[in-house]
A and B are shown apart, each in its own frame.
Chain A
Amino acid sequence: MTVLALLLMALAYYLLVYQPVREELASIRSGMQDMESRIALEQAKAVRLEQMREQLESLGHSEESGLTPMAEYDNAQNVMAALASVLSSAAYYDLSFSPVAADGRLVRRSIGMTFGCAGYADAREILRRLAACPYRCSIGDFSITAEPPAAAAAEPDLTRDSVRVSLTVTFYELTQE
Chain B
Amino acid sequence: MAERLRGRKLRYPVKGTVNLVVREHPMNNPRALLPLLLAILLVVGLFSKFAVIDRLARVGAAQASLSAVAARLAEAEAANADFSEISAQFGRYYCSGFTEEELAAVDRMEVLALLEGSLMPSARVSDASLRENILTVNVSGLTLQELSDLMRRLKAQELVSGVSVYTAGTGSREREGNTLAEVTMTIVLAQAEEGGDAP
Chain A interface (Cβ within 8 Å of chain B)?
13, 17-18, 21, 24-25, 28-29, 31-32, 35-36, 38-39, 42-43, 45-46, 48-49, 52-53, 55-56, 59, 66-70, 103-106, 124, 127-128, 131, 136, 138-146, 155-159, 170, 172, 174
Q: Which residues of chain A have C-beta atoms less than 8 A from B131's C-beta?
A: 141
Q: CA–CA, A104 to B93, complex, Å? A: 15
B66 touches A31 (CB 8 A): yes
Asked if B73 and A104 sit within 8 Å, CB to CB, the answer is: no
- What are 19 A-B pairs with beta-carbon distances under 8 A? A17-B55, A17-B56, A18-B51, A21-B56, A21-B58, A28-B65, A29-B62, A46-B76, A48-B83, A49-B87, A52-B90, A55-B93, A69-B93, A70-B95, A105-B97, A106-B95, A127-B109, A146-B126, A155-B126
Of B82, B91, B112, the residue contacting A174 (CB under 8 A) is: B91
A93 → chain B closest CB, angstroms: 18
Contact B127 A35 (CB under 8 A): no
Chain A residues lying within 8 Å of B125, measured Cβ to Cβ, are: 146, 157-159
Q: Which residue of A lies closest to B108 (CB)?
A: A139
CB of B79 closer than 8 Å to a CB of A: yes
For residue B199, CB closer than 8 A to chain A, the reply is: yes
Q: In the bound complex, how far is the Cα of B111 from the Cα of A128, in angstroms? A: 12
Which 6 residue pairs spanning A and B have beta carbons closest together?
A: A143-B129, A106-B97, A42-B76, A156-B126, A69-B92, A145-B127
B52 at the interface (CB under 8 A from A): yes
Q: How far is the CA of A144 from the CA of B107 in the complex (A)?
A: 16
Interchain CB contact under 8 A, B94 and A55 = yes
Inter-subunit contact A131/B108 (CB<8 Å): yes
Given A35-B66, A55-B90, A106-B95, 6 more pairs with CB closer than 8 A: A42-B73, A55-B197, A131-B109, A142-B129, A144-B128, A146-B125
**What B residues does A106 contact at CB under 8 A?**
95, 97-98
Q: Which residues of B contact A141 (CB under 8 A)?
A: 129-132
The minimal Cβ–Cβ distance linking A48 to chain B, given in whole angstroms, is 8
For residue B58, which residues in chain A have a CB less than 8 angstroms away from its CB?
A: 21, 25
Q: A39–B128 contact, CB under 8 A?
A: no
Does residue B42 face the partner (Cβ distance < 8 Å to A)? no
Distance in angstroms from A49 CB to nearest chain B CB is 5
Chain B residue contacts of A31, Cβ below 8 A: 66
The listed residue (A35, A70, A136, A170) touching B70 by CB distance below 8 A is A35
With A46-B79, A70-B95 known as contacts, the answer to whether A28 contacts B66 (CB < 8 A) is: yes
Pairwise interchain contact A146-B92, C-beta atoms closer than 8 A: no
Which A residues are in CB contact (< 8 Å) with B128? 143-144, 158
* B148 CB within 8 Å of chain A: no
Partner of A142 from B51, B69, B130 at Cβ < 8 Å: B130
